[in-house]
Amino acid sequence: MAYSPTTWNTNDVITKDKLNKIEQGINTASKLSGTDIDANKDWNGKSITNVGTLQNQTGNLGARTGFVDVPGDVVRKTFTPNVTLNYNDPPATLATFTVPANYSANHDSNFRIGVRKTTSYYIFSTSITVYRNGTLIGSLEMGYDQSARNIDTTAGCKAGDVITVKGKYNGDERFSPVVQTVEVKSARRADIPAYKVFAETGAW
């Protein structure tokens, strides 16, 4: 409630009612709920802590309601499958994970999947594929001399989606590559309003 000041005239008598009104005004001014916001406020680099839900004219801002990621180089999770891919075998699962609940359920994220395998002059092409809930969202071919490559997913995924990475060897039956590590990497997406700043917390 905004304070309404008394208009004082010459020779006015100070009464208990007017003094009470002054004290009520001081009490109101000491509370943020009694403050009229009538100009922009420069917070001078100070933090506002322990804030509840933020609202504007169009609804909740929700700036920390879920991560939204793009392919990047920050490692979120590492798998060490050490899976041997044999000639003519069906695709083998190298890694599987569920996108954590602290990711957005409303905006798509994408990841960079890094794969490292053994090499040999006699090891030919190895196919790596990435699936979201069984739907292909990324693939690449690794040559005999390529020990590490990245796949950037493009079809998107949300909180709760199951991501599966598979590998299949397409070469000589006498030699078999071993997939040693699979990394899930990303960067925070910063071009969605209210998604530009995130706390780097939350377990996979």
Fold of 69-188: Jelly Rolls (2.60.120)
Quote the pLDDT of residue 80: 98
> Which has the closest alpha carbon to 66: 164, 176, 157?
157
Mean pLDDT for the stretch of residues 140-155 = 91
The three-state (H, E, C) secondary structure of 18-58, written as one string: HHHHHHHHHHHHCCHHHCCCCCCCCCCCCCCCCCCCCEECC
| Residue corresponding to tokens 């009464």 | 15
Chain centroid offset of residue 195 CA: 8
User: pLDDT tens, 186-195?
Assistant: 999 888 765 5
Higher per-residue confidence, 41 vs 65: 41
Mean pLDDT of the 138-152 span: 91
Of residues 23 and 140, the one with the higher pLDDT is: 140
pTM of the predicted model over 0.75: no
Give the pLDDT confidence score for residue 48 in this predicted structure: 81
Taking the domains of the chain in order of start, what are their residue ranges? Answer: 1-36, 69-188
How does pLDDT run across 44-96, given as a tens digit for each residue? 888 888 877 666 555 445 455 688 999 999 999 999 999 999 988 999 999 99
Which comes out higher in pLDDT, residue 147 or 35?
Answer: 147
Nearest in space to 157 (alpha carbons), one of 99, 113, 82, 118: 99
Instruction: Give the pLDDT band (50/70/90) at residue 160.
Output: very high
DSSP letters, 112-136, are EEEEEE---TT---EEEEEEETTEE
Average pLDDT, the chain: 84
